[in-house]
Amino acid sequence: MSEIKFLDLLKINQQHRTELIQAVTEVIDSGWFLNGDFLTKFEQEFATYTGAKYVVGVANGLDALKLIFQSYKEQGVLKDGDEVIVPAHTFIASTLAVTDNKLVPIFVEPDLASFNMDIDLIEQRITPKTKAILVVHLYGRICWSDELERLAEKYQLKIIEDNAQAVGAEWKGRKTGSLGHAAAFSFYPGKNLGALGDGGAVATADADLAQKVKAIANYGSGRKYEHLYKGINSRLDEIQAAFLSVKLKSLDAGNERRREVADRYLAGITNPLIELPTYPQAQEGQADKKGHVWHLFVIKTKNRKALQKHLAAREIQTLIHYPTPPHKQAAYPEYNHFSYPASEQIAEEVLSLPISQVIEVNDIEEIIEAVNQFQIITNGPN
């Protein structure tokens, strides 16, 4: 019995070994490494895939988010001190993009069952200063609804999607990344569409925003040595773009395989100490399978420490996403006194089980059995 890895990146990329080597060879032989044909090709393919009008490749997901906010500031849509609705339960990149741009995050509690921002709690947090909503499709599950669109319309808010985790997920036939006014993607190796290094992209239907993102990512320059903005250097290089073109072709198959793994877990785990994640609902009682791409399979338990130890003893790797919400991080002393009980409860109870497009059925069965065998041994009465 060998260890079951949380994520087997070696195996994931071995599947594409021949094509990846072919791709890197083509880039080497082109003699051109930045802002070339491989980037343009991937941007076009990714735009077609997501249904977004424009895609701009950038260096990573955090930059993609930051560039969206900075570009809205250059457009005059946002200004210093404006408020942005953000989920209280998310990876810190979401909030860093807001605060780095001198915008104020207004935290909204998650729904305990979906882990996503509770859309019904947004309206009460809107003030005259609120200008945008940053939605995060956390763990691969869509965070979207008609109500969200109604709020954006009513209060004239921009909706920005942090789509680092849900590439390929759909809402009513529309893909994440094309639902809001702008979207940020991460191609960090462990994401559902992973590069072999860092990578990211911005998607939008707003031509002016796309142009600004591209310019700001290029030292604020649209034309050589003319600098319109105080920009940064944030590029998706040719090698990563070529790799991503290879891997994009099997993204849907990989996501479908993740759903099969999730379905096995959902059917097999019966331990009453464990609370399972869910698919979004299309209608009452009907799972919307396209609405989840299972970037992570996150269970909840009041006995997390013991469960993680129990699984580790059986050589099953697990991780916690995330142990501390952004408002409780040392990086944000100004928010540490805030209390968001739902997000804090989630941070204490979640545990991520192994899931990927390459995990073996025997491994899943072994994990299910181990989770079902977990019990709390009490010392009994004295």
Ligand X SMILES: *Cc1c(COP(=O)(O)O)cnc(C)c1O
Of 42, 54, 91, 144, which lies in the binding site for ligand X, with binding defined by CB under 6 A?
A: 91
Query: In the complex with ligand X, which residue's Cβ is closer, 181 or 310?
Result: 181
Region from 16-24, 44-52, 111-119, 157-165 binding ligand X, contact rule CB under 6 A: 157-165
Q: Least separation, in Å, of the C-beta of 22 and ligand X?
A: 25
Q: Which of 98, 157 has the CB closer to ligand X? A: 98
Smallest gap from residue 250 Cβ to ligand X (A)? 20
Residues 6+ apart with CB under 8 A from 278: 113, 114, 287
Amino acid at 176: T
Give least dist CB 375 to ligand X, A. Answer: 33
Residues 6+ apart with CB under 8 A from 160: 65, 68, 69, 132, 133, 134, 135, 180, 181, 182, 183, 184
Binds ligand X by CB under 6 A, chosen from 95, 101, 114, 186: 186
Assess 116 for contact with ligand X (CB under 6 A): no
Question: Binding to ligand X (CB under 6 A): which residues in 256-285?
Answer: none
Helix, strand, coil % in the chain, rounded to nearest 5: 40, 20, 40
Among 12, 47, 62, 216, binds ligand X (CB under 6 A): 62
Residue 13 CA: distances (Å) to CA of 17, 46, 75, 224: 6, 19, 40, 37
SS3 assignment, position 56: strand
Residue numbers 121-150 binding ligand X by CB under 6 A = 136
Side chain identity at residue 112, one-letter code: L
Contact flag: residue 61 with ligand X (CB under 6 A): yes
HEC profile of 211-250: HHHHHHHECCEEECCEECCCCCECCCCHHHHHHHHHHHCC
Q: Is 194 in the site for ligand X (CB under 6 A)?
A: no
CA atoms of 322 and 33, how far apart (whole Å): 36
Indicate which single residue of 164, 183, 202, 351 sits in contact with ligand X (rule: CB under 6 A).
Answer: 164
CB of 190 to ligand X, least distance (A): 8
Residues of this chain that bind ligand X (CB under 6 A): 60-62, 90-91, 93-94, 136, 162, 164-165, 186, 188, 198, 200
